[in-house]
Structure 1
Amino acid sequence: MDFATGKFNWERSLNIRHQASNVFFNEGTIRQIQQLPNGDLSFLGFADTNYLMIPPITTKAVNIITSASGVVKKFIGYQTSDKGSYMVDALTDVQGNRQVLIQDGSQAIIAQLDDQGSVIKQKALLTNSGAQRASSLTLGTDGYYVFLNSPSNQQNSHLYKTDTAANLACMATTTSLNSFDAANWLLADNPSMAHSNELNPNNPFSNSTVNAKDYPLTITTTCTNACCKDVIDTVNIVKVAVCENEHYKLPDQVPVRISGTYYVSFKTALGCDSIKIYQVTVFKDPASIKLGEDTCLEGRDSIMLYTEPGFDQYLWNNQSSKNFYYAAKQAGTYTVKVSNLCGSKTATVNVNALCDPEFYLPSAFTPNADRLNDLFRIPPNSGFQLINMQVFNRWGQLVFDGKENSPGWDGDYKRNPQPAGMYPYRIEIIAIRSGKKMIKTGTIQLIR
Structure 2
Amino acid sequence: MKISTLKLSIFCITSVMMCNTLHGQICDNKFLSVKLKGLSFDTITNCTFNNNEALCIGQIRDYNNAAHIAKFSAKGTPIWSNTYAIDYFSFYPPTFFQTVYLKKIIPTIDGGYLVAGNFDKVLSPFGLPPPVKKYALLAKIDKFGVVMWSKTWANNSGNLNCSTVYETTDGDFIVYLGTDNGKKVLNLDHSYSKIARLDNKGNLKWSTLIFTNEYDAGGLGLDFKQAITQTKNKNIILGHVVYKAELYNAHYNTVRGNLHFISFDYATGKMKWESSYEYPVPVSDSLYTPDIVNVEELPDGRLSFISTLYLSTSSQPVLTKKGVTITTNNKGEIEDLIAYSPTDGSDCRIIDATAAPIYNNRTLLFRNGAKSLLTNINSTGQINWNIGYNTNGGVSPLTCLSKNKKGFNLFMSTKTSFYSQLLITDSAGIIDCANEPATIIAKSAAFDFPHDSVTTNTSMNLDAYYDYQLPFKRIEAYPLQKEIICEQATACCTDFIDSTHLKICEGKKFMLPDGTIVKDSGNYYSVTKSPLGCDSIKFYHINIDKDISKLNLGLDSCLTQSATITLLATAGYSNYYWGNSTTAGTNSYNINMPGYYKVRVSNTCGTKTDSIIIYDRCDYPIYMPGAFSPNNDGINDYYGISQLNKNRLISFKIFNRWGQLIFKTSNPNEKWDGRFRNEALQFGTFIYYIEMAGLSGNRIVAKGSFILLR
Q: TM-score, normalised on structure 1? A: 0.43
Structure (1/2) with the larger strand percentage? 2
